[in-house]
């Protein structure tokens, strides 16, 4: 019986790798969606995206479990609330960083998330981090550094701190998913949408930003909430059950690699040599970590 359970571990890991990498692919199209929007501000986009995300997750959770997400939030408790709040920090910190510092600087700081997740996972959850994963994290940051080396490096200290805050938020979100993996954690994503709605409503009202968007901008924003953020976070949350926190955030960096590809294909924006070279290095780090993990089978368990 025990040996049979051990044999299923590689399959669960490989399925988790595929789910989390697919989440990164979906998230990588967010930049394309933003480029297609004509007039909406960042906070308007986030508001509409959060509304559609919450409604979408409510329907998914009801269909999947037959329960209200609010019931599941009460059942799982603190991990869900912490994950939801951390995800809002990741979203809003990322937006503020891109507004106040260079995209190049923000991207490099976002890439610290795997390191932060590895450290927090070790301290809080006791998760061992494979040597290959540490190496892959270092290679990944080197790849991002290459991608941004030919871009403006100037930035504001507040923007840099916000980018680090975003990376920290995503790492805490990941740790919370691992902490609550014995329960249903999709409600954490639903809750993050509600938190984000409240935050963006306050910001829009306080700064006199209109709440009504054009049909085009509103439609794109709603679509981003469902097909990009929503579907991506569902895959990431399900995949989190079978992968350590450090590897989860490392795989999600596929978003950084693929984002320039979509705008090149659909909008004709050309990528620089540094972007292509750094993307290759980053992708190699992700694939290398995945391969070493799949090859490294767990030791067989024998029956007593």
* % pLDDT > 70, the chain: 85
Give me the long-range contacts of 284-287 (CB less than 8 A, separation at least 24): 284/139, 284/143, 285/136, 285/137, 285/139, 285/140, 285/143, 285/250, 285/253, 286/21, 286/136, 286/140, 286/250, 286/251, 286/253, 286/254, 286/257
Residue of 255 and 45 predicted with greater confidence: 45
Tell me the range of 53-57, 110-114, 249-253 where mean pLDDT is highest. Answer: 53-57
- Residue 109's pLDDT band (cuts 50, 70, 90): confident
Quote the DSSP letter at residue 300: P
pLDDT (0 to 100) of residue 183: 60
pLDDT band of residue 204 (cuts 50, 70, 90) is very high
Q: Averaged over 4-29, what is the pLDDT? A: 76
For 30, 51, 145, 213, the CA distances from 222, given in Å and listed in that order, are 12, 8, 33, 11
Give residue-wise pLDDT tens across range 269-303.
776 777 778 778 877 887 787 777 655 544 443 33
Least confident piece of the model among 91-105, 210-224, 229-243, 253-267: 91-105
Q: At residue 175, what are phi and psi to the nearest 5 degrees?
A: -60, -40
The pLDDT, as a whole number, for residue 297 is 45
**What is residue 197's predicted lDDT score, i.e. its pLDDT?**
95
Compute φ and ψ for 14, nearest 5 degrees. Answer: -65, -40
- The pLDDT value given to residue 108: 67
pLDDT at 69 over 60: yes
Residues 185-202 have pLDDT tens digits of 788 889 999 999 999 999
Average pLDDT of the segment spanning 46-70: 92
Higher-pLDDT residue of 209, 119: 209
Q: What is the pLDDT of residue 59?
A: 94
Average pLDDT, whole number, for the chain?
Answer: 81
């Amino acid at each position: 019986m025990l040996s049979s359970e051990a044999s299923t571990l590689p399959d669960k890991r490989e399925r988790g790798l595929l789910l989390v990498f697919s989440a990164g692919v979906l998230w990588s199209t967010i930049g394309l969606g933003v480029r297609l929007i004509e007039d909406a501000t960042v906070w308007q986009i986030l508001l509409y995206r959060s509304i559609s995300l919450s409604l979408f997750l409510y329907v998914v959770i009801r269909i999947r479990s037959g329960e209200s997400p609010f019931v599941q939030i009460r059942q799982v408790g603190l991990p869900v609330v912490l994950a939801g709040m951390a995800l809002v920090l990741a979203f809003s910190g990322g937006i503020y960083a891109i507004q106040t510092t260079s995209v190049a600087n923000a991207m490099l700081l976002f890439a610290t998330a795997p390191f932060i997740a590895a450290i927090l996972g070790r301290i809080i959850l006791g998760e061992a981090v494979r040597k290959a994963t540490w190496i892959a994290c270092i290679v990944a940051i080197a790849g991002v550094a290459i991608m941004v080396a030919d871009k403006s490096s100037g930035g504001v200290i507040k923007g840099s701190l916000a980018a680090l805050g975003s990376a920290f938020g995503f790492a805490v979100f990941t740790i919370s998913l691992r902490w609550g993996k014995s329960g249903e954690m999709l409600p954490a994503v639903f809750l993050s949408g509600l938190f984000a709605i409240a935050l963006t409503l306050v910001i829009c009202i306080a700064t006199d930003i209109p709440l009504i968007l054009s049909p085009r901008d509103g439609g794109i924003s709603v679509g981003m909430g469902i097909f990009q953020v929503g579907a991506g976070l569902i895959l990431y949350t399900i995949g989190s059950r079978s992968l350590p926190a450090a590897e989860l955030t490392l795989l999600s960096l596929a978003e950084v690699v693929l984002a320039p590809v979509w705008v090149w294909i659909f909008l004709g924006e050309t990528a620089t040599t540094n972007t292509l070279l750094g993307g290759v290095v980053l992708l190699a780090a992700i694939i290398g970590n995945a391969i070493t993990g799949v090859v490294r089978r767990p030791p067989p368990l024998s029956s007593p």
